[in-house]
């Protein structure tokens, strides 16, 4: 399962966000045959070569402040149901299409594919990661550039 999680993570920023959400939902539902067929067709259609990593210099994120929106309220409500939540970081992706990206970090061993699906938002992007795992460039850049918005307290501990 970890291989598939990492494969889909490697497509973030190279694949349309909505299409990636569909692939992640197939993974969370353990619909692996459908995932394989849909992924193969989309990779072929888009001409994406999985043997190459995205150029990390093209991954541009800046910190984003909490805004108290309904989206954030919903994310906090869902994310905090799981006791292994460590932090939520908010960043703005600058490369097109611009978007808000929330990186939600859980303790090591959390089922990130199921949490990824449970935290999916309609109007913002969510990347679920586990504490201390090696991340692909997209998630690592968003986490490094983002601003911690949960838990609140001392900024950017």
d(C-alpha 134, C-alpha 119), whole Å: 21
Asked if 20 and 4 count as a contact pair (C-beta separation under 8 A), the reply is no
55 Cβ contact partners less than 8 Å away, ≥ 6 residues apart: none
Across 95-114, b (16+ Cβ under 10 Å) vs e yields eeeeebbbbbbbeeebbbbb
Tens-digit pLDDT profile for the chain (157 aa)?
789 999 999 999 889 999 999 999 999 999 999 999 999 999 999 999 888 876 777 789 999 999 999 999 999 999 999 999 999 999 999 988 999 999 999 999 999 999 999 999 988 999 999 999 999 999 999 999 999 999 985 444 4
Greatest alpha-carbon pair distance for the chain in Å reads 46
Residue ranges per domain, the chain?
2-150
Q: What is the pTM of this model?
A: 0.90
């Amino acid at each position: 399962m970890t291989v598939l999680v990492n494969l889909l993570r490697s497509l973030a920023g190279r694949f349309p966000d909505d299409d990636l959400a569909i692939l992640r939902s197939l993974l969370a539902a353990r619909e692996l045959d459908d995932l394989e067929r849909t992924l193969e067709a989309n990779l072929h259609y888009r001409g994406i070569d999985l043997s190459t990593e995205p150029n990390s210099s093209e991954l541009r994120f800046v910190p984003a402040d909490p805004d108290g929106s309904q989206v954030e309220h919903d994310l906090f409500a869902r994310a905090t149901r799981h006791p292994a939540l460590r932090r939520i970081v908010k960043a703005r992706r600058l490369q097109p299409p611009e978007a808000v990206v929330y990186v939600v970090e859980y303790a090591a061993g959390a089922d990130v594919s199921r949490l990824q699906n449970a935290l999916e938002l309609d109007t913002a992007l969510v990347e679920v990661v586990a504490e201390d795992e090696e991340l692909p460039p997209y998630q690592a850049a968003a986490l490094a550039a983002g601003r911690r918005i949960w838990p609140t307290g001392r900024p950017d501990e």
